[in-house]
Structure 1
Amino acid sequence: MKAVLLATAAAILIPVTPALAQDQGSGEETQAQASGIADIIVTAQRRSENLQKAAIAVSAVAGDTLIKQSITQANDLTRVVPALQVAPAASFTQIYLRGVGTFGANAFAEQGVAFNLDGVYLSRPAAPAGLFYDLERVEVLKGPQGTLYGRNATGGAVNVITAKPKLGETSGYINAEYGNYDALKGSAALNLPLGEKLAFRIAGQYVKRDGYFSDGYDDEHTQAVRAQLRGETGTGLDATLSVDYAHVAGMGSGGTIMPLLDGKHRLGPSDPRVIAAYSSRSPTPPVPQAVASDDGYQDNDFFGAALTLNADLGFATLTVIPAYRKTDLDFRSYASSFLIDVQEKSSQMSLETRLGGHSGALEWVLGGYYFAEDVSARQLFDQASNGTRLNSELDTESLAAFGQATFSVTDRVRLTGGLRYTTDGKRQTTEAHTLPFVGFVNPAQGNFTPIILDIVSYPRTDVDFNKVTWKAGVEFDAGPHSLLYASVSTGFKSGALFAATGRNYSAPENMTAYTIGSKNRFFDNKVQLNAEAFLWKYKDQQISHLGPVQIASTPAGAIYGPVFTTENAGKSTIYGLELEALFQPTSHDQFSANIQYLHSKYDELTYQAYSTTGTAPVIGCTVTPTSQTGASPAARIYDVDCSGRPLVNAPRWVFNLGYEHGFQLGDHGKLIAATDTRIETSRYLSLDFLDLGRQGSYMMSNARLTYETPSGNFSLTGFINNIEDELVFANSLQSPAKPGVIYNQLRPPRTYGVRAGFRF
């Protein structure tokens, strides 16, 4: 590890020397930037700054890039950010960053990577739906966040920043796209001035696409609209009011049991061939079987309102962001003939207040944050021979105070320190039904009517979690266009609740992250080289999986049943290196490369598995039987030790490579040809560590050709994504009722189409 960090530090310093030769005066610098690599302005540190000047580990994707890549949902972000793995799970979105994330599959879940919309934290795992349109950019912050943000995060944050109303401007655009699988995508925005100091912007999105699977699953059907009103007083006060609504419909995500049954033809969960293969695997009928149907659906609604108020107080700027969000989920999904039927209503209210200023050599931010959420959920997870029904009322209340300051020791050296105190309170009132199959009415006489017990329990929780986290950093301007930085920061995620009668919450998880990096531009702004080395130490890491929890007590001892639970698995170590290069030799050419090396290991990973059949679970780790009592006579509970295994969703290598070239057509406009590819080495998708739940190395490429008119107001694009038609797994789940039956979800197959855009 020391050798890796030393080599990395040397590599980071290499670009500094040529960068020193760029200091040729502000006029020449401005001219070089106009003809060289374009700057991206980010607000990741709660101030507007050039991405190349931000002394933090952050990637940014511009809104135009999202349109060019046909990105309309959070799952698509994996294509453009090497550190990210984003996957669907029924109507939920699971975000992993460098192996840190949450397998969130029920109402108790809370992301390990925070998702923020215009500075507002969205708590629900389903919340990222219907937001990816009319965006200015997406920022991905890597490592613990908290000393600048309202809601603390362990592994990082995804910040979605929408395009804001522009004062004194009438403008807009329309984008329309059609492709295979009858994909129809459209987005539009209109910006209107309402006097000199007021502007209104309205934007919308429509997406409808057939499913990628044989039975229609894995489709997309979204309608969304967002309206914003922005005003200034001319006396240092400005405000933006934003209201958004989205409806997500269709059949929802799909998958198939492994191995895939028909090559690259995706057989969905209700395909007769999949059902036949599933039913033939042990235990077979007359043991009750859940049969997947084509009646899966999503009927999910999302509403949000937020006000961002900025006031110039002279000595500092006051920012106040009150926000409200409501999520209404109603969906039915099948995973490996595992019925998931959920109705969930949640509402959250948050208030973030920040005061930030600059005085001499000191730049500072102080803030306070309040968050409250109420969730009412009705959830059924049923596999016929094993089921769970949960009726839950969940409440979360969080208070935090945070601050960060940067002091300029010299014109080139700055020191940063940050501190945060968080207190989270969580409560649950749940009615839980465990529904095990325990036998037949009278099998000796041929009566194979199954007997399903209904074991009722009433989990209650009222628990608080408190933590102080901090950050310390140093940055050095090695040249006019070269920045060196290093930091140590800590992260905290409060304990997660689950439905059990005994202890029914996990302990908080904690992370300490060490980072050293460098950002450089040289050769007249034509070359950009950035590097970041990182070491993350994870303690009391939370893992979510289907495992045994106490559901009843008897004189003979506790009774355990299977529930999707969160427990502290132990600790892990993550380290690696990320390199980013841009080369723009001419105004018509740009090469890009982003490479991430990631080494991850569970130093300690122990958990328990529940077997409804009694046979040892099929897991690629050490499995040991226990004497604990299950909910049915056949059930057994096992200890599992996967220490030494790599983290899930953490490929060793990721390469994102791209090239774009513009062909000038004189007075007739121009053609832009672009191609990009993503290369990943293998990764495990679940804690089972099985070959069938492992994604092997793959390469997935995209290409597009765009014609633009001389004014740039109209464009026409032909595109193809996943040229190789590569089968890439996004998620994996083992059947609780049939050990060894693996159900995988997949990323999109080859897609192609045309897109037209008009701007005014």
Structure 2
Amino acid sequence: MRRLKPASANLQNSTKTYSFLTTLVHILGEDKVLNQILDSQVRRRAIRGSLMMSCAAFAVANMGAQVAHAQETGLADIVVTAQKSAQNVQDIPLSVTAVSGEALQSKGITTVQELNRIDPALQIGHATGTVTTFIRGVGNPVTTAGNEASVPVYIDDVYFIRASVPFFDLASIERIEVLKGPQGTLFGRNASGGVISIYTKDPNLASPELEARLGYGNFQTMDAKLYASVPITDTLAANISVSYHNQDQGWGRNKRLIDPLDTSKGYRPGGEDYWKGHSFSARGKILWEPTDTTKVKLIGYYQNSWNQIGIYSRPFPGTQGGTPDGAHNGFANLPGVFPIPSQVLPELGFYDVALGDTQKQYDKSKGYGFSGRIDQELGFADIVSITAYRKNDELYASAGNYSPYNWARYDLNVVDKQFSQEFQLKSKSSSKIKWILGAYYLNADGGFDPTTIHGPGVGASGIQGINIYGQQKVKSLAGFGQLTYPLTDTTNITGGLRYTIDKVRGDGRTDIVFLPGVFGAGSVTVTDQIFDANNNCSNILANTFFGAPLNGTCNAPNPNVSKTTKKWTWKGSIDQKVSDDVMVYGTYSRGYKAGTFNTLPLDSAALGPEVIDAYEVGFKSELGGRTVRLNAALFWNDISNAQVQAQRNGLVFLQNAGTARTRGGEFDLTVAPARGLTLRMAGTYLDAKFRKFDGCATYSYSTTAPGNLDQSTTNCAGNHMPYASKLKFSGGVNYAHDMSGTGNFTFDLNGNYATKFNWDADNVIKEPAHFFLDGSIAFTPEAAEHLTLRFWMKNITGVKYNINYYAQASGSAYSSAPGAPRTYGGELVFKF
């Protein structure tokens, strides 16, 4: 904790700081070199305006600095481990957003998907049971098993190779850190866009803790959470966190056609509830400190869930859906079951779907994991070991056509397991020179075992079922190091380097099971698209129909069964303390996302790695007797071999684009003008475009099959990148007040705004601009200080928005899933 300076010194430093910030704004707006870099007039004005408004706010805050100090108000230090050791976030030459567990609870943020409401640089989606993450425009929305995000998610320093939603229930959270820009040195593999680190509470060795939450909301939603921590001895403690969620009523209805052969008659009234789900998760920790220099931490966790939310199940609002068409969907038409030729489906309500009785979509998931961490202090340094294992079984049940007909079905059996080991040797916290050396190993399997396609449309083609097997096995080994050296008392330089060897191996095949009578009296299985170390028989099915033996093999060697990538990533930065309260910094870093196989199906060579070179300049400041905190940054990312979403035969996959660029500016302002009152505002300007991207997939309505889509390719050079709003702002107010003789009231109101963005690289379908407002009020009576009653409401204005998107060319429509409508409820909290 810093020693407080006299108010006169604070005022003097604040005056110097204001002068410096004004000069910096002038430089950013007028320097010819920077103007050439920031060649967008709109963007330059946005950044300049944001910084000037922030500086003006500082001027007002500084006028009252002495008064604020006299009132003993101020902002608390935020300690993070973004560089693998505990540091004040204001001392790190890196853009970081850190949120405490208490702040998350006050703001009503209960899932990782809601974090984008407090950090405008962050865009998080939710599709088919998986979190999709973007930071500053870098990321991809592909949820195919085996693919990894460009913005990885860590829990308690363990990387989750597949970010399945149920693992990220934000219960018993200590804090969350969002690190922006490539983190290729300390976090390494696939941290090309940034990192989201979640830290859960450790057991308390000093005293027992108990917190229970019981809540109920609209849509018959029940939530229950329990956290308990118990000291067992002076050196041993344990805790457990349990969370249960059940939304028993859906946001919309599953509609049925009045006449399945004439869609112009519309839908029947009513329908079964749709968009609901339930989950259970538990996490336990054991903390053992046998000596003053040794700490051992063991963690175990489990989750079980069933969910319809986040699965694209209806046409994107404003677009048309259609009945099945064999030419577009790959299987036989069914006369008398659905109209031939196809017809356009009636328009649905925003939260409604139209799926057949056996076409209901859901994601069912069950998984567990363990990790162990040892911290050992040595005479000259500290050593850390982190060992982790995780396994998750998942079934994604999908309709082959988002229409009211029982025609084709896809059951995706997901393989998801991993083992990792990390060692760190790092300098003592008191060391003037900060350094860290480390090694990291990852062994993971991801893919499908198998994806089964079946249903009446498949059977009418003479096929009992199609089983698509595809798995990617990953082995990654890395060594890394980083050093921060103080050139002077106010100037530091940091250099980091990491060398990674990634090996991915693909194994896949497709089994087609023909019905009895097609090739003899019994059923016959034909294996196609074999992809392993021995064969790549991608034409055996075609040969079968032209007279080749059913058990024929091609024995063609496959040189692309595995891919090894060796990469150097690095970071270099310099930071300068302009005063005790202001730091400026500049950073150049490189990150990359490893090459990967498409696993659905796995029948082609692996993609090349995505490489990002990032440049960032910024400042961090605390003013007005620490009642005002303003951080801002400008960034520029050059992307090579961007991995983007595409589609083939109705199945999503990744492809390499050429080059892309994201650039922009951001600021984060927090003010504590009075006791108990905190105001916050943050904003981001983002210009994200493809520079080179030929062979980009695009979609248009079929001229022969109404409501169905045709796929073609185009040149997307110059197009905006997906999920990249040009402007995003968030802000909020938190006020806590003790009323003598009554109790404590806490009020929290948060809003966020985002301009429109494109869902895909072809820039055809756009998500409209949105403004969200969430709020809560809590009361803790003076006579029962262990009890709190809290009322909350999310999406107060009832904004209709989408949380994912997928253009299914071989299906029926541009498809999507809605985000939650207005929700509200109350909870009773007991703390001891």
Q: Indicate the TM-score class for this superposition, using the shorter chain for normalisation.
A: 0.7 to 0.9
Q: In terms of mean alpha carbon deviation, does 225-234 or 498-507 score higher?
A: 498-507
What is the deviation of 1:171? 1.1
Deviations 1:431-489 (A, max 9, x none): 125899xxxx9xxxxxxxxxx99882112321111100110000111111212111000
Aligned 8 A contact 2:368 2:392 in 1:
yes
Matched residue SS, 2:114:
helix
Counterpart-to-counterpart distance in 2, 1:747 and 1:514: 34
Counterpart-to-counterpart distance in 1, 2:616 and 2:632: 10
Partner of 2:111: 73
Partner of 1:44: 82
Deviations 1:205-254 (A, max 9, x none): 01111332323333231111111000112240101100011111244534
TM-score w.r.t. the length of structure 2 is 0.77
Aligned 8 A contact 2:129 2:311 in 1:
no
Counterpart-to-counterpart distance in 2, 1:363 and 1:637: 54
Aligned 8 A contact 1:75 1:87 in 2:
yes
Partner of 2:384: 319
Residue 506 in structure 1 maps to residue 607 in structure 2: yes
What is the deviation of 1:613? 10
Aligned 8 A contact 1:592 1:657 in 2:
yes
- Counterparts of 1:56-455 in structure 2, within 5 Å, are 56-126=94-164, 129-149=167-187, 151-209=189-247, 210-215=249-254, 216-258=273-315, 260=317, 278=323, 285-286=339-340, 292-293=356-357, 295-334=360-399, 336-337=402-403, 339-358=409-428, 361-375=432-446, 377=448, 378-380=450-452, 384=457, 389-432=467-510
Q: Greater Rg, structure 1 or structure 2?
A: 2
State, as a whole percentage, how many aligned pairs show the same letter: 25
Aligned 8 A contact 1:611 1:617 in 2:
no
Partner of 1:640: 714
Partner of 1:558: none
Deviations 1:15-67 (A, max 9, x none): 69989x99xxxxx9998896212222111111112222222111112112222
In the comparison of the two structures, how many residue pairs are matched? 698
Matched residue SS, 1:196:
coil
Aligned 8 A contact 2:419 2:444 in 1:
yes
Q: Kindly tell me: are residues 55 and 713 of structure 1, through their superposed partners in 2, closer, same or farther at Cα, counting changes over 3 Å?
A: farther
Partner of 2:666: 578
Matched residue SS, 1:736:
coil
Aligned 8 A contact 1:701 1:721 in 2:
yes
- Counterparts of 1:550-565 in structure 2, within 5 Å, are 563-565=651-653
Q: In terms of mean alpha carbon deviation, does 303-312 or 90-99 score higher?
A: 90-99
Partner of 1:520: 621
Question: What is the one-letter code of the residue matched to 1:700?
Answer: F
Counterpart-to-counterpart distance in 2, 1:610 and 1:457: 26
Counterpart-to-counterpart distance in 2, 1:429 and 1:563: 18
Match of 1:569 among 636, 652, 657: 657
Q: Kindly tell me: are residues 393 and 649 of structure 1, through their superposed partners in 2, closer, same or farther at Cα, counting changes over 3 Å?
A: closer
- Counterparts of 1:515-664 in structure 2, within 5 Å, are 515-547=616-648, 563-607=651-695, 609=697, 638-664=712-738
Q: Kindly tell me: are residues 480 and 434 of structure 1, through their superposed partners in 2, closer, same or farther at Cα, counting changes over 3 Å?
A: farther
Match of 1:715 among 788, 796, 817: 788
Counterpart-to-counterpart distance in 1, 2:705 and 2:121: 32
Counterpart-to-counterpart distance in 2, 1:719 and 1:11: 31
TM-score w.r.t. the length of structure 1 is 0.84
Deviations 1:341-365 (A, max 9, x none): 2112332110000000048642100
Which structure has greater strand proportion?
1
Matched residue SS, 1:95:
strand
Matched residue SS, 2:113:
helix
Partner of 1:2: 34
Counterpart-to-counterpart distance in 2, 1:362 and 1:658: 38
Aligned alpha-carbon RMSD (Å):
3.6
Deviations 1:63-86 (A, max 9, x none): 122223333322222222212221
Deviations 1:575-611 (A, max 9, x none): 1111111111101322210111111111112235498
Which structure has greater helix proportion?
2
Counterpart-to-counterpart distance in 2, 1:389 and 1:541: 30
Partner of 1:555: none
Residue 695 in structure 1 maps to residue 767 in structure 2: yes
Q: In terms of mean alpha carbon deviation, does 347-356 or 599-608 score higher?
A: 599-608
Q: Kindly tell me: are residues 389 and 543 of structure 1, through their superposed partners in 2, closer, same or farther at Cα, counting changes over 3 Å?
A: farther
Partner of 2:26: none
Question: What is the one-letter code of the residue matched to 1:590?
Answer: T
Matched residue SS, 1:576:
strand
What is the deviation of 1:508? 0.6
Name the structure, 1 or 2, with higher relative contact order (CA <8 Å, separation 6+): 2
Counterpart-to-counterpart distance in 1, 2:102 and 2:496: 34
Counterpart-to-counterpart distance in 2, 1:679 and 1:635: 32
Deviations 1:544-588 (A, max 9, x none): 2213xxxxxxxxxxxxx6653322111111111111111111013
Aligned 8 A contact 1:541 1:571 in 2:
yes
Counterpart-to-counterpart distance in 1, 2:419 and 2:705: 42
Structure 2 residue ranges without an equivalent (≥5): 1-32, 39-43, 255-272, 329-337, 344-353, 519-523, 533-560
Question: What is the one-letter code of the residue matched to 2:673?
Answer: P
Aligned 8 A contact 1:662 1:673 in 2:
yes
Aligned 8 A contact 2:696 2:762 in 1:
no
Aligned 8 A contact 1:609 1:617 in 2:
no
Q: Kindly tell me: are residues 521 and 751 of structure 1, through their superposed partners in 2, closer, same or farther at Cα, counting changes over 3 Å?
A: same
Q: In terms of mean alpha carbon deviation, does 714-723 or 351-360 score higher?
A: 351-360
Structure 1 residue ranges without an equivalent (≥5): 23-27, 263-273, 442-451, 548-560, 620-633
Q: Kindly tell me: are residues 388 and 145 of structure 1, through their superposed partners in 2, closer, same or farther at Cα, counting changes over 3 Å?
A: farther
What is the deviation of 1:279? 5.4
Aligned 8 A contact 2:146 2:445 in 1:
no
Aligned 8 A contact 2:185 2:570 in 1:
yes
